[in-house]
Amino acid sequence: MLVRFWGTRGSLPVAQRAEAIRAKVVRALVAADGRRFASEDEAAAFAQENLDFATYGAFGGATSCVEVEGADEAFMICDMGSGLREFGIDAMRRCAGGHARTYHFFMSHMHWDHIMGFPFFAPAFDANATIVVHSGHADAEEALRRQQEEISFPVPFDWLRATFEFVQHKPGEVVEVDGVEVTLVVQHHSHDSYGYRFARHGRSVIYSTDSEHKLDNMDSEAAFESFFKDADLVICDTMYSLGDSVSLKQDWGHSSNIVAVDLCHAAHAKKLALFHHEPTYSDEDIARMHAETVRYEELVRAERPALEVICAYDGLEVTV
């Protein structure tokens, strides 16, 4: 399976301000220390080899949208955040090359940051496309239709030309979707959210965002350990620090990098992707949290196999 991250921020989209870009350029110039480069390719190679990611790159600003490539023919996408617009453009390109025009969406929940990309999803206007929306919620169709009422958006849902199907699933049941086994788990979040496990050919990917893990509810945590068990990749809500998640932002429906490491260790997962980044965090803040998470994993690993910790960014691809 191949996992593509089209949107990795939480709550609302963000854009780099001019002063943030300027600071990156300044750091890069200082690091170059008067070097001359014969081409842009040579300069790019220097940047990647000598600069930290927060300087030569960016974690991006689009909200949650993740593609899991591994089905027989169809597209499989987790959530419809603002990153969905870019995915839709790329999907149309692939469909022009012969890819099936079937889209299976797996919705964590229907809060706005997870559906706001849908009105700009180009394939929804394709009469030859089929869009299947999978959810644990009974009101998924209502949420998407309400978002496109005239008071909120100029294009009504009924003007869309694709064929739509809405499927509600129960937590714990295993369903097969175009050759991929999919399982849901209910998560602690306002109006509930759902995590997904995708499994095929002995490989598995977990998509678990907008989930608050309660230290005083260990029965629930044991269920997540089972759900994450032996996963090759766990995409996990790590929006807050542990201190924030248990104090200032308790009951806000999100979790921390520390809890994510602990759960993945207990489940013997192989790789953790930090996800749903706090919108007020700069690239430097996110990079710092990533480094702190890697260090924490090393300190508490004990006799366990190493857990690889990566930090998701818009445009990242991970082969599983």
pLDDT in tens, 26-53: 999 999 999 999 999 999 999 999 999 9
pLDDT of 226 above 90: yes
Print burial letters for 136-151: b (CB count within 10 Å at least 16), e (below 16): bbeebbebbeebbeee
pTM, rounded to two decimals? 0.94
Residues 197, 231: Cα–Cα separation, whole Å: 9
The DSSP H or E segment spanning 286 is helix 283-300
pLDDT of 218 above 60: no
Instruction: Determine the average pLDDT of the residues in 191-209.
Output: 96
Half-sphere exposure of 189 (CA within 13 A, CB side): 22
pLDDT in tens, 107-120: 999 999 999 999 99
Phi and psi based region of residue 78 (left: phi greater than 0; alpha: psi -120 to 50; beta: remaining):
beta
Instruction: Determine the average pLDDT of the residues in 63-89.
Output: 98
pLDDT of 248 above 60: no
* CB atoms inside a 10 Å sphere around CB 304: 12
* CB atoms inside a 10 Å sphere around CB 308: 14
Print burial letters for 53-88: b (CB count within 10 Å at least 16), e (below 16): ebbbbbbbbbbbbbbbebbeebbbbbbbbbbbbbbb
What's the pLDDT at 222?
83
pLDDT > 70: percent of the chain? 93
Looking at the domain 2-14+58-319, which fold is it?
A: Metallo-beta-lactamase; Chain A (3.60.15)
pLDDT category at 198 given cuts 50, 70, 90 is: very high
Higher local confidence (pLDDT), 71 or 220: 71
Q: What is the CA radius of gyration of the chain?
A: 20
pLDDT of 97 above 50: yes
pLDDT in tens, 261-308: 999 999 999 999 999 999 999 999 999 999 999 999 999 998 889 999
Cβ contact 230:268 at 8 Å: yes
pLDDT category at 247 given cuts 50, 70, 90 is: very low
Instruction: Determine the average pLDDT of the residues in 241-261.
Output: 67
pLDDT of 178 above 70: yes
Could you tell me the residue ranges of all domains in the chain? 2-14+58-319, 18-56
pLDDT in tens, 47-61: 999 999 999 999 999
Higher local confidence (pLDDT), 189 or 292: 292
pLDDT of 144 above 80: yes
β-pairing, 317-319 with 2-7?
antiparallel
Instruction: Determine the average pLDDT of the residues in 133-155.
Output: 97
